[in-house]
Amino acid sequence: MSTDASETNAAPTDAPAKPIKLSPVEKIKQESGFLKGSIDVELADPVDHFDNANIQLLKFHGTYQQDDRDKRAELKKSGGGKAYSMMIRCRIPGGRLSSDQLVAHLDMCDELGDSTLKITTRQTLQLHGILKGDLRETIRRINEVELSTLAACGDVNRNIMCCPAKRVGGIHAQLNEFTDELTEALAPQTPAYHELWLTDPDTGEKTLAGGGEPEASSAPVIDEPLYGPTYLPRKFKVGIALPDDNCIDIYTQDLGFLAVIRDGQIIGYNVSVGGGMGRTPSAKKTFPALAKRMAFVTPEQAIDVAKAVIIVQRDNGNRSDRKVARLKYLIADWGIEKYRAEVEKVFGGPLADCTEDDVHEFDDHMGWQEQGDGKLSYGLNIENGRLYDNEKVQVKAAIRAVCARFNREIRLTSHQSMIFCDIDPSEKEELIEILKSHGLRTTEETSTVRRWSIACVALPTCGLAITESERRLPSIIDSIEEPLAKLGLSNERFTIRMTGCPNGCARPYNADLALVGRAVGKYTLFAGGGWLGNRLAYIYKDQVKDEDVTAELTGIFAAFKANREEGESLGTFCDRVGAEKLAELAEAAPLPA
């Protein structure tokens, strides 16, 4: 197949090129010199923030400019500006990292950040509160431990998700190898990353580190054979899953690879395309979507098909309106048959239809699990992924102690939690004692509803947040644990996801229940998705006041208890009865005393 840079952003071969009005971001990318812009000039400027153009380009390098919104009013009163800082996101394929790499991030959050570290819903880590003047040092230190921030954000393929379970045998080894190969194959090639972050501004010395090897030439030829000079119309997300373990939510991804297994070996993948969670309530043209099954590919075809999927989106995605620029909108416009035909054209041949294999289970990998080699993994629930220390609990200190004592591999999950790998059975009690001695609640002591809940960052740092999310969800969980217990539903598995805005970073639109920020102090309450991730939720009630959330959720639980069919999950029950009937049943159901 051809991915020559000269073809970038070309019109489809069967249609004449038509001039389009580019969005402002497209013009910024076009004029950036392959993502360099004037970032180097601004890094040398003592001003505490970047200009609008470079803010867009910095995303491709793995960092967003933010400000502390809790301080806005106070600073405005005193005549000051905003409290600017940077969020830095790492690229950690499949969520696999060493103890040393995790400890290095803990060091950076203490020394350069706001003293907390966030595990994201895409199996990676985010540092918050990094000052502009410390940006280069932070990215350099991340690369020194052989990780990278390149393409962790921006209009490119982002961190590739994959089942984080550590298991002996060919299946998981093949998944991990495929994740790494795909990460390398879909990475941007611009030398700007090395020039900006891994080259000494005084000596010009280049560092060989996690960002990839710099060009040997002092004046390399810039070429982006896959992305071209303007990259993709919008962000792009990839996930790799197993039919019996959809722990990475494959149908929310732009591109998904579902392993097809025969006789204990992966013979190929069912490819799905067009998943995406974001929506804008005021714009009816926007919507969340689950990916559509497209074709079956062999392991040998997989990477070239992934590139073909990206090229078709690159050349045909909407570059004038970013609200409808994701792959899901192109597929909604064309239909999956036409999209597949275009992918086959770029790939260079026909593809087979998907096999019957589909998702049928979801394992969050929490608690003790056998690896198959005599060792154990322990999944520790980290509420909303936030690592911090305070007078009650010392999450960071506990993790440091575990890493110092065991120095084993770490895996991050899509539910913002952490897996300690390679634990000998004789070490089980010691690991648990370290956690408890630092005030941590073990997974076994965590309620089912809390264990299956996730939230985005939201306030105070996310500039898009309308409402609270990460800081609010724990108290909501507190308020519903007792009603669930009284209804006999404490062990019921269902997902509650919360986001501070409709962009959906915590994947709310396919959850059993979800709270999405709608207006100040108000949420849209969704119901009817499910923990398996293959069904969209619907709007149950809009503009729900914050103070009414617990009562609304409790009503749903009571209706479920009184009216469920045998073996029916909460999400399936909500989907079966629909919004109007659910409201009636919730009103009529006896509430727990």
The CA distance from 425 to 303, in Å, is 39
| The residue type at 563 | N
Longest dimension (CA), the chain: 74
The CA distance from 24 to 283, in Å, is 19
Query: Among this protein's residues, is 403 annotated catalytic?
Result: no
Instruction: For residue 323, give both structure tokens.
Output: 């609200």
- Side-chain half-sphere exposure of 91, counting CA atoms within 13 A: 34
Q: How many helices (H) and strands (E) does the chain have?
A: 17, 20
Q: Are 250 and 272 in contact (CB under 8 A)?
A: yes
Query: Among this protein's residues, is 497 annotated catalytic?
Result: no
- The catalytically annotated residue of 386, 462, 472, 518 is 462
**Among 490, 262, 511, which residue's Cα sits nearest to residue 362?**
511
Instruction: Report phi then psi at 552, rounded to 5.
Output: -65, -45
The CA distance from 418 to 416, in Å, is 7
Query: Among this protein's residues, is 501 annotated catalytic?
Result: yes
Query: Among this protein's residues, is 163 annotated catalytic?
Result: no
Q: Helix %, strand %, coil % for the chain, to 5?
A: 35, 20, 45
- The catalytically annotated residue of 411, 501, 518, 561 is 501
Helix axes 299-316, 336-347, angle to 10 degrees: 110
The 3-class secondary structure across 504-529, one letter per residue, is: CCCCHHHCCEEEEEEECCEEEEEECC
Query: Among this protein's residues, is 158 annotated catalytic?
Result: yes
Query: Among this protein's residues, is 237 annotated catalytic?
Result: yes
Q: Which residues pair with 255 in a beta bridge?
A: 238, 273
Pairing of strands 161-162, 238-241: parallel
Q: Give just the sign of the alpha carbon dihedral 469, 470, 471, 475.
A: positive
Pairing of strands 255-262, 238-241: parallel
- The catalytically annotated residue of 141, 158, 293, 497 is 158
- The catalytically annotated residue of 153, 354, 403, 456 is 456
| The residue type at 457 | V
- The catalytically annotated residue of 59, 89, 292, 328 is 89
SS3 state of residue 404: helix
The CA distance from 223 to 226, in Å, is 9
- The catalytically annotated residue of 91, 96, 235, 340 is 235
Query: Among this protein's residues, is 505 annotated catalytic?
Result: yes
Query: Among this protein's residues, is 293 annotated catalytic?
Result: no
- The catalytically annotated residue of 132, 237, 319, 497 is 237
Strand arrangement of the beta sheet that strand 238-241 belongs to:
161-162, 238-241, 255-262, 265-273, 292-297
Q: What is the DSSP letter of 337?
A: H
**Among 227, 229, 349, 333, which residue's Cα sits nearest to residue 285?**
333
Torsion of CA 550, 554, 556, 558, to 10 degrees: -170
Looking at the annotation, which residues are catalytic?
Answer: 89, 158, 235, 237, 456, 462, 501, 505
